[in-house]
A and B are shown apart, each in its own frame.
Chain A
Amino acid sequence: MNPSIAVILPIAIPLATMAISLLAWKSIAAQKWLGLAGSVLLFFSAAALMWLVDRDEILVLQVGRWPAPFGITLVADRLSSIMVMLAGVVLFAVTLYSLATIDDRRVDYGFFPLIHLLLMGVCGAFLTGDLFNLYVWFEVMLIASFVLLTLGGERGQLEGAIKYVALNLISSAAFLAAIGVIYAATGTLNMADLAVKLRSFPDEGIVTVLAMLFVIAFGTKAAVFPLFFWLPASYHTPPVAVSAIFAGLLTKVGVYSLIRAFTLLFVTDLAFTHNLLLLIAGLTMVTGVLGAMAQSEIRRILSFHIVSQIGYMLMGLALFTPLALAGSVFYIIHHIVVKTNLFLIGGIAERRFGSGRLSEIGGLQRSMPVLAILFFLSAMSLAGIPPLSGFFAKLTLVRGGLETERYAIIIAALVVSLMTLFSMTKIWAEAFWKPAPQEARASLPARHDSRRGRIALFAPIVLLVTITVGIGVLAGPVMKVSYAAAEQLLDPDAYIDAVLPDRLAAEGDLDRQGKLNEQIPTNRNPSTLNGPPTSLRDED
């Protein structure tokens, strides 16, 4: 069998699961089992993809056998396969958790089909090699997330959703405009083809303008400073399982797109674009953590920490060395696992007391000692205490910064790390150490979870904590994987050659055309490269 089929499986499996679940609309039990089965299948297909990519470097699937710049291309390189793998892990954990926590009314309204639709969008965005296709996957993901966010129709959910919907639609409009302008400038939307054409694009100013449009479009999705306000306004409102999967995956799609765009497409004006990204990274870290310190509700604190940590992921991209980028990849791996887990743990605390406010809960260390240990490990990992996963991620980023002598960002990263520790100890002291408040103890509902329900609640948390500790213990191999991904990202030629195998034949033409462009600056389009007819604009 052709190995490139594996590229489409992470998109096809959620689609099939969703379709079959919709057929079983009437049966809640059937939808739950289908959701679980679909998540297990996605996990294994992601593992297979990762194995194949490790063997073959880059897998390419030309959908419908249309050759590269014309058809839609699906590409899986190391970073994509790592992201899909993480999506599989998070989906499995959250599905298990939602079996116990999502009420029957929400399941009845299609919770499980929606979550698979969301995953289809997420995996599609990770695997596509075409800008417009990326837009479509973003929208698939967005519409699923809109419904998941509002499902249930509680007051907070609706209020949060208005902000989430409005700001995400603005970013979509910016993305669409950017696509229009980039097509007008180059005549192609295939990322590999774009990478070739933007390199020899005569007008550097236009390329930088395009880069900025993409910073706004992807930056809003990634929740960077100053475009993050939708995130802390909405992430704490839906059921915990939904918050957790959003926290783990959605902003990371934005980060992934930024990494893809600024390693493959916009690498001609590094001094401007990547320094701007570095500034954004620093401000994102600091504002996020300051916001978190002012909060007093578990999920609100964690939401602000997402913003703060997006900064670390961008820091590696902005420094733009193999080591720093490897740090970013490592950080993403660590962050997705730990963040999802902290939301799930916070959810159990909220479930026990019926509130996430730190003033209304307490005493968890005594009443749920196992949960306390699990939280402690995850929180310390988030703050970056050795030997847990966050430590190695931050260490690599800081080493990347030292290598390039960017001391300001290193100081920011270390101070923010300390503040993260402070805010984690705040949760620890309030929710776990402090005795439960009188009124909360009086109104505490009797434990009603069945044994199966408790397994579904704790199994995903134990699984994710194991992975966190595992990343810390096996930091060497994980670092190796991240480093390989970073090196591949910094060598766009491999990506381009994999997508456009006939390029070498056209290379000679390109060189000649490049020289022509130097002589006659008005001839804008190197149209001999096998792109669609692009010379329309030149005639008017």
Chain B
Amino acid sequence: MDIALAITVGGLYAAGIYMMMRRSVVKLLIGLGLLSHAANLLIFTAGGIVRGRVPVVPNGQSQPITEIADPLPQALILTAIVISFAVLAFALVLIYRTYQTLGTDDLDQLKATDT
């Protein structure tokens, strides 16, 4: 399972970076989205894949008795998903406004503010 997830993470990174190399702004954004998915999945994999071991400490105990699935990475991912959702929503509006104002979605045309 870990291997499959590791390959998926690698594939997502590769696809994300490939998309970001394209000239279209929309593809740039899709690439960024893929990149944040890859990072989230990486954290998920890093937390350990354990099936059916609920991280609940029984009543009267101070520690779990058996091995449990680590809940922290999942909490981290939730936070990261919410943040990347907000940021990508902003970026979507940004590229739309840019297209409206500048009339192009080609990154090679957006050079006026460069050196």
Residues of A within 8 A of B (CB): 132, 135-136, 139, 142-143, 146-147, 150, 153, 155-156, 158-163, 165-166, 169-170, 172-173, 176-177, 179-181, 183-184, 232-234, 236-237, 291, 294-295, 300, 532-537, 539-540
Contacts and interface: CB of A to CB of B under 8 A. Distances in A.
Contacts of A537: 48
A233 B87 contact: no
B64 interface: yes
A165 B115 contact: no
B114 A233 contact: yes
Interface of B: 2, 20, 25, 28, 32, 35-36, 38-40, 42-43, 45-50, 64, 67-70, 72-73, 76, 79-80, 83, 86-87, 90-91, 94-95, 97-98, 101-102, 107, 110, 112-115
A150 B67 CA distance: 49
A300 B115 contact: yes
B95 A162 contact: yes
A132 B75 CA distance: 11
A172 B83 CA distance: 11
Given A155-B112, A160-B113, A166-B20, 9 more contacts: A139-B83, A156-B113, A158-B94, A162-B94, A169-B87, A179-B76, A180-B39, A183-B72, A539-B67
If over half of B's interface residues share one DSSP class (helix, strand or loop), that class is named, otherwise mixed; here it is helix
Given A166-B20, A295-B115, A536-B48, A173 B38 contact: yes
A162 B68 contact: no
A233 B115 CA distance: 7
Contact of A153 (B43, B49, B101, B110): B101
A179 B43 contact: yes
Contact of A176 (B32, B43, B48, B102): B43
A165 B91 contact: yes
A147 B76 CA distance: 25
Contacts of B48: 184, 536-537, 540
B90 A147 contact: yes
B14 to A, nearest CB: 14
B67 A535 contact: yes
B47 A184 contact: yes
Contacts of A170: 20, 32, 35
A126 to B, nearest CB: 19
Contacts of A540: 2, 48-49
B91 A169 contact: yes
B113 A184 contact: no
A183 B64 contact: no
30 contacts: A139-B83, A139-B87, A146-B87, A146-B90, A153-B97, A155-B102, A159-B102, A159-B112, A165-B94, A166-B32, A169-B32, A173-B35, A173-B39, A176-B39, A177-B38, A179-B43, A179-B76, A180-B42, A180-B46, A181-B42, A183-B43, A233-B115, A237-B113, A294-B115, A300-B115, A534-B70, A536-B48, A536-B50, A536-B70, A540-B48
B71 to A, nearest CB: 9
Most chain B Cβ neighbours within 10 Å, of A159, A165, A180, A234: A180
A485 to B, nearest CB: 31
B36 A173 contact: yes
A291 B115 contact: yes
- Which 6 pairs show the lowest CB-CB distances between chains A and B? A184-B46, A180-B43, A536-B48, A176-B39, A173-B35, A158-B98
